[in-house]
């Protein structure tokens, strides 16, 4: 059994930033990641990262207060305002820190960090590097991690990739380590620690039509959930307005921020016909644009009943190559069209998990010694709807905050390196469970159970929701549970080394549970707020639902309770655009 004072699960932006912060406190830290850190989904982020830098004439009066207010309003007043103010306040600091670590942001003609308009602000607030912002941020952080891997300056950062964490070890309410499957060897390994930071990203792959990487599964939310950490606001799923038809690959909001149009089959910029998008048009908040695209398609004004056009041709080849080269490349490779000469066929798709592991403003969860940051966590800064560009920001701001509070927690412990027996026992549990899984010989294929459920989520728990559809989704989930009890382990090899059938089993189990949390939360929230739109309750209802949903796990089932939203500055108002 290996011991590290702090273990970070996840090597994306949130995980690496948290690990660096722990390292700045001179505490040894180990990052466990199922893929090499620079293959995390953060890498795929295209459009940019928000911060009130005010680097453009049109955005020169920007301020932390304006950024915070836009975020609160975008969240449909469900975001916790203290957490939002903290994030917006730290934004310039964290962005300049990335710049000083060598992050190659795109530049203005004066050499300042360039910013583009995204939803929410209406002027340039989103710093970017072409359309590869996540790529450059992640590589910059990874370079810093490598710098401290074996450094005489500070305690070591150890990175172990191809390590799939499958379970926590919790001893008397305190997290004392994790169990991971070493994907190379196929053996389970025990890691004892004084604290654990979860940074496992979003649960997007619960849906079949997601922009997320295949590794963005519900496993990261499920592992702490089943050990007692509540999940918050999981019914709020963001659907991005513009994903490429066929694959649902993201076409960044930057396409519209740079001046792209959304057009229906009549050649109209249809957003002008809707009250909530006629002013901001293509840069209105995501939930609004996504719903209005879907309304056009449903009204027969889309193409082939399934998409509209995102037209960037008028930007010209030079600007497209300069600002959106990745988009051009993706369109050519995955849709066989060139956006310089053709409109891009797009439809809304699952994009972001607003909810997650419930944490306080310092990243601490309900389990002592367990922290969370990034997309898997819910602080909550996005409330009912995330503004584009705020998620990359959350990863580095709250990654650093969780790292700091975790380091302080570890330094304050009277006794470290505790709970060894529990970790050993958990290791044996996991080995036993794995033997049972590979011996399963039932009637159903694991992949079928998972795919059917992902279809249910896309069709019945999507952009528009209704009681009968949500109830029908719950029935599908019950059916999935039954089938899951009767699956067969279909892979010939029972070795766990790179055994995708085994990983799929764990992910499907997580998917079933997290889907149930999403649907139950959506069913009980009898109002429309942000991304959660109920056709049978089309209005926001602050009197009854200005509150966070908190889901808890027990062997008997999932229970829901509520807790208040922190309103410290702006009283809820109707969203007007």
Ligand X SMILES: Cc1cc2nc3c(=O)[nH]c(=O)nc-3n(C[C@H](O)[C@H](O)[C@H](O)COP(=O)(O)OP(=O)(O)OC[C@H]3O[C@@H](n4cnc5c(N)ncnc54)[C@H](O)[C@@H]3O)c2cc1C
Interacting residue with ligand X among 6, 27, 215, 218 (CB under 6 A):
215
Distance in angstroms (rounded) separating the CA atoms of residues 354 and 429: 32
Mask of contacts with ligand X, 403-422, x by CB under 6 A? --------------------
Interacting residue with ligand X among 7, 8, 14, 27 (CB under 6 A):
14
Q: Which residue has the tokens 């956006």?
A: 339
Asked if 87 touches ligand X (CB under 6 A), the answer is no
Asked if 359 touches ligand X (CB under 6 A), the answer is no
Interacting residue with ligand X among 5, 15, 383, 419 (CB under 6 A):
15
Q: Which of 346, 347, 344, 308 is nearest to 329 (CA)?
A: 344
Burial 489-512 (b: 16+ CB within 10 A, else e): beeeeeebeebebbbbbbbbbbbb
Burial 79-109 (b: 16+ CB within 10 A, else e): bbbebbbbbbebbbebbebbeeeebebbeee
Interacting residue with ligand X among 211, 264, 292, 504 (CB under 6 A):
211
Distance in angstroms (rounded) separating the CA atoms of residues 575 and 577: 7
- Closest CB 100 distance from ligand X, rounded Å: 20
Tokens read off for 573: 């108002």
Interacting residue with ligand X among 391, 405, 469, 511 (CB under 6 A):
391
Asked if 219 touches ligand X (CB under 6 A), the answer is yes
Rounded to 5 degrees, what are φ and ψ at 555?
-60, -30
DSSP strand pairing (115-117 vs 124-127): antiparallel
CA dihedral of 274, 275, 277, 279, whole degrees rounded to 10: 120
* Residue list 495-534, contact with ligand X (CB under 6 A): none
Q: In 290-378, which ranges are E strands?
A: 308-311, 344-353, 356-358, 370-372, 377-378
Instruction: Select 118 or 270, whichever has its Cβ closest to ligand X.
Output: 118
Asked if 48 touches ligand X (CB under 6 A), the answer is yes
Q: Which residue has the tokens 């993201």?
A: 250
Partners of 129 in beta bridges: none
* Selected range binding ligand X among 163-171, 229-237, 456-464, 486-494, rule: CB under 6 A: 163-171
Asked if 200 touches ligand X (CB under 6 A), the answer is yes
SS3 of residue 106 by DSSP: coil
Partners of 375 in beta bridges: none
Asked if 177 touches ligand X (CB under 6 A), the answer is no
Q: Which residues contact 263 (CB under 8 A, 6 or more apart)?
A: 269, 270, 308, 309, 310, 311, 343
Asked if 49 touches ligand X (CB under 6 A), the answer is yes
- Closest CB 273 distance from ligand X, rounded Å: 28
Asked if 193 touches ligand X (CB under 6 A), the answer is no
- Closest CB 27 distance from ligand X, rounded Å: 20
Question: 380 preceded by cis ω (within 30°)?
Answer: yes
Interacting residue with ligand X among 201, 339, 369, 383 (CB under 6 A):
201
Asked if 42 touches ligand X (CB under 6 A), the answer is yes
Asked if 74 touches ligand X (CB under 6 A), the answer is no
Interacting residue with ligand X among 6, 7, 8, 35 (CB under 6 A):
35
Instruction: Select 15 or 462, whichever has its Cβ closest to ligand X.
Output: 15
- Closest CB 321 distance from ligand X, rounded Å: 19
Instruction: Select 145 or 250, whichever has its Cβ closest to ligand X.
Output: 250
Instruction: Select 105 or 270, whichever has its Cβ closest to ligand X.
Output: 105
- Closest CB 472 distance from ligand X, rounded Å: 28
Asked if 91 touches ligand X (CB under 6 A), the answer is no
DSSP strand pairing (231-232 vs 547-554): antiparallel
End-to-end alpha-carbon separation of the chain, Å?
A: 57
- Closest CB 300 distance from ligand X, rounded Å: 29
Work out the angle at residue 286's Cα, subtended by the Cα atoms of residues 285 and 292, and round it to the nearest 5 degrees: 100
CA dihedral of 457, 460, 462, 468, whole degrees rounded to 10: -140
Asked if 383 touches ligand X (CB under 6 A), the answer is no
Active site residues: 240, 256
- Closest CB 379 distance from ligand X, rounded Å: 12
Mask of contacts with ligand X, 102-141, x by CB under 6 A? -------------------------------xx-------
Burial of 150 (0-12, 13-18, 19+ CB in 10 A): exposed
User: Which residues are at the interface with ligand X (CB under 6 A)?
Assistant: 9-15, 32-35, 37, 40-42, 44-49, 133-134, 163-165, 199-202, 211-212, 215-216, 219-220, 250, 252, 352, 374-376, 388-392, 395
């Amino acid at each position: 059994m290996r011991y590290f004072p702090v273990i970070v699960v996840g090597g994306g932006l949130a995980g690496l930033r948290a690990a660096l912060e722990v390292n700045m406190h001179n505490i040894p830290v180990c990052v466990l990641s199922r893929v090499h850190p620079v293959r995390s989904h953060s890498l795929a982020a295209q459009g940019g990262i928000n911060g009130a830098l005010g680097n453009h004439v049109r955005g020169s009066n920007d301020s932390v207060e304006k950024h915070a207010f836009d975020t609160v309003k975008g969240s449909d007043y469900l975001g916790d305002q203290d957490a939002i103010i903290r994030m917006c306040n730290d934004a310039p600091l964290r962005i300049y820190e990335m710049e000083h670590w060598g992050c190659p942001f795109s530049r203005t003609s004066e050499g300042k960090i360039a910013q583009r308009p995204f939803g929410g602000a209406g002027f340039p607030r989103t710093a970017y590097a072409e359309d590869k912002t996540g790529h450059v941020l992640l590589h910059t952080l990874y370079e810093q991690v490598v710098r401290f891997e074996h450094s005489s300056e500070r305690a070591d950062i150890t990175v172990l990739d191809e390590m799939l964490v499958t379970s926590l070890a919790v001893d008397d309410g305190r997290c004392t380590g994790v169990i991971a499957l070493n994907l190379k060897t196929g053996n389970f390994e025990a890691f004892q620690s004084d604290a654990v930071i979860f940074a496992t990203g979003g649960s997007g792959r619960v849906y079949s039509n997601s922009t997320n990487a295949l590794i963005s599964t519900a496993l990261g939310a499920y592992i702490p959930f089943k050990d007692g950490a509540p999940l918050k606001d999981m019914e709020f799923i963001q659907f991005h307005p513009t994903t490429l038809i066929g694959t649902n690959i993201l076409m960044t909001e930057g396409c519209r921020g740079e001046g792209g149009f959304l057009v229906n089959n009549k050649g109209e910029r249809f957003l002008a016909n809707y009250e909530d998008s006629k002013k901001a048009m293509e840069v209105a908040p995501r939930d609004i644009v996504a719903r209005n695209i879907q309304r056009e398609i449903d009204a027969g004004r889309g193409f082939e009943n399934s998409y509209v056009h995102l037209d960037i041709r008028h930007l010209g080849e030079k600007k497209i190559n300069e600002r959106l080269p990745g988009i051009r490349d993706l369109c050519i490779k995955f849709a066989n069209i060139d956006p310089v000469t053709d409109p891009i066929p797009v439809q809304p798709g699952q994009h972001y998990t607003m909810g997650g592991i419930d944490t306080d403003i310092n990243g601490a969860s309900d389990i002592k010694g367990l922290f969370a940051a990034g997309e898997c966590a819910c602080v909550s800064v996005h409330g009912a709807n995330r503004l584009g560009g705020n998620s990359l920001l959350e990863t580095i701001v709250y990654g650093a905050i969780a790292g700091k509070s975790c380091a302080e927690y570890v330094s304050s412990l009277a006794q470290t390196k505790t709970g060894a027996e529990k970790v050993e026992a958990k290791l044996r549990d996991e080995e036993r469970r794995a033997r049972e899984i590979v011996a399963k010989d039932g009637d159903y294929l694991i992949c079928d159970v998972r795919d059917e459920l992902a279809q249910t989520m896309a069709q019945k728990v999507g952009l528009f929701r209704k009681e009968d559809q949500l109830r029908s989704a719950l029935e599908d989930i019950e059916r999935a549970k039954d089938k899951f009890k009767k699956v067969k382990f279909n892979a010939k090899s029972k070795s766990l080394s790179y055994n995708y059938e085994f990983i799929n089993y764990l992910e499907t189990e997580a998917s079933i549970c997290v889907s149930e949390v999403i649907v139950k939360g959506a069913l009980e929230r009898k109002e429309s707020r942000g991304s959660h739109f109920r056709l049978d309750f089309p209005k926001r209802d602050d009197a009854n639902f200005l509150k966070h949903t908190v889901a808890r796990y027990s062997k008997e089932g999932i229970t829901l309770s509520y807790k208040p939203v922190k309103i410290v500055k702006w009283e809820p108002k109707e969203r007007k655009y």
